[in-house]
Amino acid sequence: MPSADGDPVAAAADPLPVASSPLHARHDPTTELCAGTSIPCWERASRAELIAEALAGDARFTFVPVAEHGRSPIEAVHDPRLVAYLERAWERLVEAGVTLGPAGAQVHPDTYVHPALRDGMGPGARPRDPLAELALWCFDTATALTPGTYAAARSAVDVALTAADLVLTGAPAAYGLCRPPGHHAPRAAYGGYCYFNNAAIAAQHLLDAGAARIAVLDVDYHHGNGTQQIFYARADVAYVSIHGDPDRAYPYVTGYADETGTGPGLGCTANFPLEAGAGDRRFASALAGALDEVTRHRPDVLVVSLGVDGHAADPLGDFELTTEAFASAGRTVRELGLPTVVVQEGGYALDELAANVRAFLVPFATPPR
């Protein structure tokens, strides 16, 4: 069937499976604190709706039902206390009488459990007050907790795991329209709009199903500090990322080129920090280097953290990528011929978001040349 953009090889017989859950909309905070100023939240429910609408109207994609996987795949990656905290946090905050501001039903920490507070005194007791405990788990001011955050975050994990299962059962590729995103969440914290690390949980799930080695390729504008942290000392999962240089770009403390893993994981992390203004050619050459690192790891399955916030119009990034950069990246990654699980991360230019995501995915929906 000829597609809207006239791609002659688009094959409706071989559409790319898409996992997507309506539960993402349970999480839709109103505001985020950016350098102390309250602004409308960039990571909003309409993002997923725009992507879903674009793919639903395109015969190269087919939506599949999302399967619940429970919490054990999450606890295989995250501190079970983080999962337990997020599950009950809202009701405990309400019970404790935490007042909600004019921004609506969302809560941010008001005290940071900064290690220097107890310098020379040992770590002390863990905070027990639910608001103080929030400060123990949350690492930034942009990532609100709302009544539906846990349900939405759980659904995003199920979306990623459903995509992983499709590849495990023989699909050459699958896309998980994860929201909220995941790559900033390390083992024992949440932040960067991320609560559970969907890509890392999918990677661990693939290993637990029998894969020997996984590579995670992260093309989001921001460094996936969470994914890197989770696998930093491990040889079974390689983490390879292209992103804004942490000298100027969130999350500031990870993503330098000299971070290459530790212990058994030494050589299994590779970072490609780019300068402001990086364009399509610069991105393509970094991607070539990144894919060399992926190939060197000889993965059984590739997990792609697909953020499209490198687009020139994105309000959070400073790259100058065009939609063609994502189309080209999709073709190049597709040509590796690896079973591939693509999970959604960032992308905040609402007018370009769906086109950028679709551009990356289209090569996976068509037979390889």
| 246 near ligand SP5, judged by CB under 6 A | no
Helix/strand number for the chain, H first, E second:
10, 10
| 140 near Zn ion, judged by CB under 5 A | no
Pairing mode, strands 61-64 and 16-19: parallel
The site string for Zn ion over 268-307 (x = CB under 5 A, - otherwise) reads ---------------------------------------x
Q: Are 93 and 133 a contacting pair, CB within 8 Å?
A: no
| 47 near ligand SP5, judged by CB under 6 A | no
| 142 near ligand SP5, judged by CB under 6 A | yes
| 43 near Zn ion, judged by CB under 5 A | no
Helical packing angle, 149-168 and 198-208, nearest 10°: 40
Q: Are 33 and 189 a contacting pair, CB within 8 Å?
A: no
Q: Compute the distance between CA of residue 70 and CA of residue 292 in angstroms, rounded to an integer.
A: 35
Shortest distance in whole angstroms from residue 308 CB to ligand SP5: 10
Shortest distance in whole angstroms from residue 47 CB to ligand SP5: 10
Q: Are 361 and 200 a contacting pair, CB within 8 Å?
A: no
Q: Compute the distance between CA of residue 323 and CA of residue 104 in angstroms, rounded to an integer.
A: 35
| 244 near ligand SP5, judged by CB under 6 A | no
- Residues 6+ away with beta carbon under 8 Å from 352: 308, 311, 313, 314, 323
- Candidates 192-200, 209-217, 286-294, 328-336 — which segment interacts with ligand SP5 by CB under 6 A? 192-200
Report the partner that residue 261 touches, choosing among ligand SP5, Zn ion, none (CB closer than 5 to 8 A by kind): none
Q: How many CB atoms lie within 10 A of CB 226?
A: 29
| 345 near ligand SP5, judged by CB under 6 A | yes
Selected binder of ligand SP5 within 109, 273, 307, 330 (CB under 6 A): 307
The site string for Zn ion over 345-364 (x = CB under 5 A, - otherwise) reads -x------------------
Q: Are 128 and 104 a contacting pair, CB within 8 Å?
A: no
Mark whether 184 is an active-site residue: yes
| 34 near ligand SP5, judged by CB under 6 A | yes
Q: How many residues bind ligand SP5 (CB under 6 A)?
A: 15
| 192 near ligand SP5, judged by CB under 6 A | yes
Q: Are 38 and 103 a contacting pair, CB within 8 Å?
A: yes
Q: Compute the distance between CA of residue 266 and CA of residue 107 in angstroms, rounded to an integer.
A: 39
Please give the residues from 155 up to 184 whose contact with Zn ion meets the rule CB under 5 A: none
| 246 near Zn ion, judged by CB under 5 A | no
Please give the residues from 304 up to 343 whose contact with Zn ion meets the rule CB under 5 A: 307, 309
Shortest distance in whole angstroms from residue 34 CB to ligand SP5: 5
| 222 near ligand SP5, judged by CB under 6 A | yes
Q: Compute the distance between CA of residue 96 and CA of residue 105 in angstroms, rounded to an integer.
A: 15
- Check 78, 183, 184, 223 and give the catalytic one: 184
Going by C-alpha positions, the residue among 279, 295, 257, 294 that lies closest to residue 328 is 279
| 309 near ligand SP5, judged by CB under 6 A | yes
| 108 near ligand SP5, judged by CB under 6 A | no
| 184 near ligand SP5, judged by CB under 6 A | yes
DSSP string for residues in 176-209: E--SS--TT--TT-BBTTBSS-HHHHHHHHHHHT
| 27 near Zn ion, judged by CB under 5 A | no
- Burial code (b: 16+ CB inside 10 Å, e: under 16) for 73-93 equals bbeebbeeebbebbeebbebb
Tell me whether residue 73 or residue 307 sits nearer to Zn ion (CB atom): 307
- Candidates 76-84, 103-111, 190-198, 201-209 — which segment interacts with ligand SP5 by CB under 6 A? 190-198
- Which residues contact Zn ion by CB under 5 A? 220-222, 307, 309, 346
- Which residues contact ligand SP5 by CB under 6 A? 34, 142, 181, 184, 192-194, 220, 222, 250, 307, 309, 316, 345-346
Active-site positions read 184
